[in-house]
């Protein structure tokens, strides 16, 4: 049972280290999903050539985080594998083996629950934020917090299709802010990126838009087609946004 306990302890440390690294990456401006992916990739030694990986390599703090994670991985995985083998090599009786399996499964379930705990994530975010601000010379910000990316609000990438309501229109004509949607940037198929695009920017099929707004409205916008039904959906979206604005004004007035 000592070997089982050692294995669970090693796995516990691994989960904590990966969680710490992911939270640190999030606080440097990477999305939560990308940060977790990069932290797990670095810890397992799996290489991926993605835009997020390039952002990690080109950022001094992110590079430091991932480098430390890779260094710790080299010893952690070997230790875990060795302990796992030792935990079963010394089994003399069938009952003892079943007991060890049960202990291992129970311990893994407990670690999984611990790793998924939102309370731990909030606690880690606070601790890591203070550490990054203290030990680095960069102005690290929690962009998710600044943009209030919680609840309904989100940032979404939307690739424009041929039949999309967005295709062939400029931003001024679409008046997306009337629907509560802001266009933060436009990535063209040739690799050119236009940040904070102007109203005369024409959206073409194949462009990828970076949008900010409420998740349900962003999803509906992505499915909207260039037909009469699409125009009706546009009018409905404007009506929904006006209702949201009225509700927010009412709530603000009541809170004073």
Closest to 208 measured CA to CA, from 232, 223, 192: 192
| Interval 234-254: pLDDT, tens | 999 999 989 888 887 777 665
Q: What are phi and psi of 52, to 5 degrees?
A: -65, -35
Q: Which tokens sit at 167?
A: 């295709």
CB 18 within 8 A of CB 35: no
- Is residue 25 over pLDDT 60? yes
With a CB cutoff of 8 Å and minimum separation 6, the contacts of 170 are: 199, 200, 201, 202, 203
Cα separation of 230 and 232, whole Å? Answer: 5
Cα separation of 39 and 73, whole Å? Answer: 11
For the chain, what percentages of helix, strand and coil (3-state, to nearest 5) are there?
65, 10, 25
Partner residues linked to 164 by β-bridges = 225
| Interval 34-87: pLDDT, tens | 777 888 787 777 666 566 566 676 666 777 777 777 777 665 555 555 555 555
Cα separation of 57 and 20, whole Å? Answer: 18
Partner residues linked to 193 by β-bridges = 187
Give the relative orientation of helices 2-27 and 60-89 as an angle to the nearest 10 degrees. Answer: 170
Q: Which tokens sit at 246?
A: 């009225």
Residue in the block written with tokens 């949201």: 244
How many CA atoms within 13 Å lie on the side-chain side of 220? Answer: 20
C-alpha 240: how far from chain center:
28
pTM exceeding the 0.85 threshold for the entire prediction: no
- Is residue 203 over pLDDT 70? yes
With a CB cutoff of 8 Å and minimum separation 6, the contacts of 155 are: 31, 147, 149, 184, 210, 211, 212
Q: What are phi and psi of 182, to 5 degrees?
A: -115, 140
When pLDDT is averaged across residues 118-139 and rounded to a whole number, the result is 66
- Is residue 9 over pLDDT 70? no
């Amino acid at each position: 049972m000592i070997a089982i306990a050692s294995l669970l302890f090693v796995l516990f440390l691994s989960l904590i280290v990966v969680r710490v690294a992911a939270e640190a990456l999030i606080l440097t401006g990477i999305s939560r999903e990308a940060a977790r992916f990069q932290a797990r990739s670095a810890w397992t030694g799996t290489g991926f050539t993605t835009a997020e990986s390039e952002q990690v390599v080109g950022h001094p703090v992110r590079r430091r985080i991932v480098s430390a994670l890779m260094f710790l991985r080299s010893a952690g995985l070997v230790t875990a594998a060795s302990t796992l083998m030792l935990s079963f090599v010394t089994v003399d009786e069938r009952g003892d083996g079943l007991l060890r399996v049960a202990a291992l499964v129970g311990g893994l379930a407990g670690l999984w629950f611990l790793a998924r705990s939102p309370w731990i994530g909030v606690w880690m975010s606070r601790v890591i934020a203070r550490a990054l601000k203290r030990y680095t010379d960069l102005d690290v910000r929690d962009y998710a917090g600044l943009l209030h990316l919680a609840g309904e609000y989100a940032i979404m990438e939307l690739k424009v299709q041929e039949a999309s309501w967005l295709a062939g229109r400029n931003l001024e004509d679409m008046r997306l802010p009337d629907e509560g949607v802001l266009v933060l940037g436009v990535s063209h198929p040739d690799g050119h990126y236009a940040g904070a695009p102007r109203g005369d920017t024409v959206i073409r099929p194949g462009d990828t838009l970076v949008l900010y707004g409420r998740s349900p409205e962003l999803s509906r916008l992505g499915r909207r087609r260039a037909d009469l039904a699409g125009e009706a959906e546009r009018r409905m979206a404007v009506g929904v946004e006006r209702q949201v604005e009225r509700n927010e004004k009412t709530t603000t007035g009541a809170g004073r």
